[in-house]
């Protein structure tokens, strides 16, 4: 137990000396005072992590010491020692902000246990604060790599909406960075110190989605062996990011609508509603307006989600961002893999600029990561980018005006590409992939067997 300081306040000199000796031997820096006012002055000029104070003393009692210390610095943890040990006094102390209390005579093992808990808590808070600062730095708007006018408009809109409570619908193709924009909005908002919870609808089966969003009670369905807290509850005070909201079944859409309208959710199998204060950011690559016409998406939910719409352009619409993104990813993955890759030669960059990147920024990042890992040179060359040649071959097969491969080969290639894209978006979940493609899971499995056979 090191690097923590304790202020002990007690009007009994023998108690002060005994506790100082015990705590000093365990690595604490120890200050002592024989009354509350003297202790307050010490805390005012020294860094104090923990105050260990007697409850009954001349002048300020333990409650007053607690209140004054918390007013001086709310981060100071206070443990109160009392000879009375009644439930009433303990409850009052805990309500007022004491970390814990001890009854006299002091059990030193119990004291050590309490101090250990305080240290663990302080270290965890410090780690969480550092992590939060790192996340905020990582997802600041100025950290999003771009020099195109289209993306500047996106970032400008996102920046203006961040401080509001408005629901945001982020739209764009897969791989354009919808979640990155959602995180930037969250970490630029007043909710930045609260949770940012992500739900990827496409990766969940219909049966699991409702439980994931709203939670369930024990025994509410087969396999529900424990109670589960849903994502809406987890995100209370913060932001919930619902990715691929267009894949949500109609039966669940109505419950999300209720969560937005009334700020409350109900667990599966539960009878009570739970109030939630959640900011919703949704994202989709689908044409929701077309889905509304076809009866696959609720119009009232669409308008609730679409309060502020942000459309992220595809990478092929902002080719001027390719060089700066390439430079960023080379630096990132060179550092991660301890490689001395200094950049990319003109021929290779030219090939990247000419390529349309159907997988958008995510695909570009994967291409550069692979090139950095495998290259033996200081500069990435065309030889390090075989993925582009592979895609050129796919493009050739998918081109309906190129008849070299024949009907069967071209239709097989087209169908396999569609299925693999759906599986990629759902992290291999065949049930969710089938839902995206509008076919049954059985049909999907049958086609995969036949096509790969």
Are the C-beta atoms of 213 and 194 separated by less than 8 Å?
Answer: no
Q: How far apart are CA 435 and CA 249, in angstroms?
A: 9
What was the pLDDT predicted at 230?
85
User: In CATH, what number is assigned to the domain containing residue 425?
Assistant: 1.10.10
Residue 284 lies in a domain: yes
Are the C-beta atoms of 241 and 284 separated by less than 8 Å?
Answer: no
Tokens read off for 246:
């267009």
The answer for 85, left when phi > 0, alpha when psi is -120 to 50, beta otherwise, is left
Query: To 10 degrees, what angle do helices 87-96 and 62-72 make?
Result: 10
What was the pLDDT predicted at 361?
93
Range of the domain at 239: 144-313
Residues 281 and 381 in one domain: no
One digit per residue, pLDDT tens: the chain, 453 residues?
A: 447 899 999 999 998 999 999 999 988 999 999 999 999 999 888 888 899 999 888 999 889 999 998 887 777 899 999 876 566 777 788 888 899 888 888 889 999 999 998 888 877 766 655 655 565 666 667 678 888 888 888 988 998 999 899 999 999 998 899 999 999 999 999 999 899 999 988 888 777 888 888 887 775 665 656 777 889 999 999 999 999 999 999 989 999 999 999 888 888 877 788 888 999 999 999 999 999 999 999 999 999 999 999 999 999 888 889 999 999 999 999 999 999 999 999 888 888 887 888 889 999 999 999 999 999 999 999 889 876 655 555 555 555 655 666 777 778 877 887 887 788 777 678 888 888 888 888 888 888 888 774
In the block, residue with structure tokens 């049930």: 431
User: In CATH, what number is assigned to the domain containing residue 207?
Assistant: 3.40.50.300
Residue 139 lies in a domain: no
Q: Which residues are CB-contacts of 418 (< 8 A; sequence separation ≥ 6)?
A: 437
What was the pLDDT predicted at 136?
61
Residue 374 lies in a domain: yes
Residue 376 lies in a domain: yes
Q: How far apart are CA 229 and CA 317, in angstroms?
A: 41
Residues 223 and 275 in one domain: yes
Nearest alpha-carbon partner for 424 in 212, 175, 183:
175
Residues 195 and 163 in one domain: yes
Residue 137 lies in a domain: no
The DSSP symbol for 140 reads: -
Residues 166 and 196 in one domain: yes
Residues 263 and 149 in one domain: yes
Residues 414 and 392 in one domain: no
Global pTM exceeds 0.85: no
Q: How far apart are CA 413 and CA 319, in angstroms?
A: 28
| Domain closes at, from 381, 398, 415 | 398
User: In total, how many domains does the chain have?
Assistant: 4
Q: Which helix (H) or strand (E) holds 232?
A: helix 231-234
Q: How far apart are CA 103 and CA 94, in angstroms?
A: 14
C-alpha 318: how far from its chain's center?
Answer: 27
C-alpha 109: how far from its chain's center?
Answer: 39
User: In CATH, what number is assigned to the domain containing residue 334?
Assistant: 1.10.8.60
Nearest alpha-carbon partner for 356 in 329, 323, 395:
395
Residue 31 lies in a domain: yes
What was the pLDDT predicted at 280?
96
What are the DSSP E strand ranges found in 213-328?
215-216, 228-229, 239-243, 264-266, 273-275, 279-284, 308-311
Integer CA distances (angstroms), 439 to 201, 220, 419, in order: 17, 29, 11
Residues 23 and 105 in one domain: yes
Q: Where are the alpha helices (DSSP H) in 191-298?
A: 206-214, 231-234, 250-262, 288-293
| Domain closes at, from 276, 293, 313 | 313
Residues 10 and 64 in one domain: yes
Between CA 425 and CA 436, with CA 431 as vertex, the angle to 5 degrees is 50
What was the pLDDT predicted at 436?
83
| Domain closes at, from 131, 156, 175 | 131
Residues 181 and 293 in one domain: yes
Are the C-beta atoms of 363 and 352 separated by less than 8 Å?
Answer: no
* Residue 146 main-chain phi, psi, to 5 deg: -170, 150
What was the pLDDT predicted at 128?
59
Residues 284 and 323 in one domain: no
* Residue 416 main-chain phi, psi, to 5 deg: -60, -40
Q: How far apart are CA 430 and CA 39, in angstroms?
A: 65
User: In CATH, what number is assigned to the domain containing residue 113?
Assistant: 3.40.50.2300
The DSSP bridge pattern shows strands 5-9 and 29-33 to be parallel
In the block, residue with structure tokens 């897969």: 174
Residues 31 and 107 in one domain: yes
Residues 232 and 328 in one domain: no
Residue 180 lies in a domain: yes
Which class for 23: exposed (0-12), middle (13-18), buried (19 or more C-beta within 10 A)? buried
Are the C-beta atoms of 225 and 193 separated by less than 8 Å?
Answer: no
* Residue 99 main-chain phi, psi, to 5 deg: -70, -40
Q: How far apart are CA 443 and CA 233, in angstroms?
A: 36
The DSSP bridge pattern shows strands 273-275 and 264-266 to be antiparallel
Residue 136 lies in a domain: no
């Amino acid at each position: 137990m090191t690097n923590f300081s304790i202020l002990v306040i007690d009007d009994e000199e023998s108690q002060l000396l005994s506790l100082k000796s015990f705590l000093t031997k365990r690595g604490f820096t120890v200050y002592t005072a024989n009354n509350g006012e003297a202790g307050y002055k010490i805390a005012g000029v020294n860094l104090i992590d923990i105050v260990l104070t007697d409850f009954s003393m001349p002048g300020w009692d333990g409650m007053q010491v607690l209140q004054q210390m918390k007013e001086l610095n709310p981060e100071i943890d206070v443990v109160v020692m009392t000879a009375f040990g009644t439930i009433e006094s303990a409850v009052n102390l805990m309500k007022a902000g004491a970390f814990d209390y001890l009854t006299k005579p002091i059990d030193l093992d119990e004291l050590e246990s309490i101090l250990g808990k305080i240290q663990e808590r302080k270290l965890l808070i410090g780690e969480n604060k550092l992590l939060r600062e790192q996340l905020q730095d990582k997802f600041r708007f100025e950290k999003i790599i771009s020099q195109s006018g289209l993306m500047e408009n996106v970032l400008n809109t996102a920046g203006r909406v961040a401080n509001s409570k408005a629901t945001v619908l982020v739209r764009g193709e897969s791989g354009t960075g919808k979640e990155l924009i959602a995180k930037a909005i969250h970490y630029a908002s007043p909710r930045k110190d609260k949770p940012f919870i992500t739900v990827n609808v496409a990766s969940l089966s219909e049966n699991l989605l409702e439980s994931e969003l709203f939670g369930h009670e024990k025994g509410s369905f087969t396999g529900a062996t424990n109670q589960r807290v849903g994502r809406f509850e987890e995100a209370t005070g913060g932001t919930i990011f619902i990715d691929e909201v267009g894949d949500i079944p109609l039966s669940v859409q109505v419950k999300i609508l209720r969560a937005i309208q009334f700020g409350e959710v109900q667990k599966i199998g539960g009878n009570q509603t739970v109030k939630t204060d959640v900011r919703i950011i949704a994202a989709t690559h689908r044409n929701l307006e077309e889905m509304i016409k076809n009866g696959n998406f609720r119009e009232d939910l669409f308008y609730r989600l679409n309060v502020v719409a942000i459309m992220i352009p595809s990478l092929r619409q902002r080719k001027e961002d390719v060089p700066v993104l390439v430079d960023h990813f080379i630096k990132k993955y060179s550092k991660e893999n301890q490689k001395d890759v200094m950049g990319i030669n003109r021929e290779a960059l030219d090939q990247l600029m000419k390529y349309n990147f159907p997988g958008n920024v995510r695909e570009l990042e994967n291409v550069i990561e692979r090139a950095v890992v495998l290259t033996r040179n200081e500069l990435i060359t065309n030889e390090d980018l075989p993925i582009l040649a592979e895609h050129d071959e796919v493009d050739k097969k998918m081109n309906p005006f190129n008849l070299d491969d024949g009907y069967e080969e071209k239709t097989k290639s087209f169908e396999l590409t569609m299925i693999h894209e759906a599986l990629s978006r759902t992290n291999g979940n065949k049930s969710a992939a089938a839902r995206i493609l509008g076919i049954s899971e059985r049909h999907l499995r049958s086609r995969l067997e036949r096509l790969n056979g």
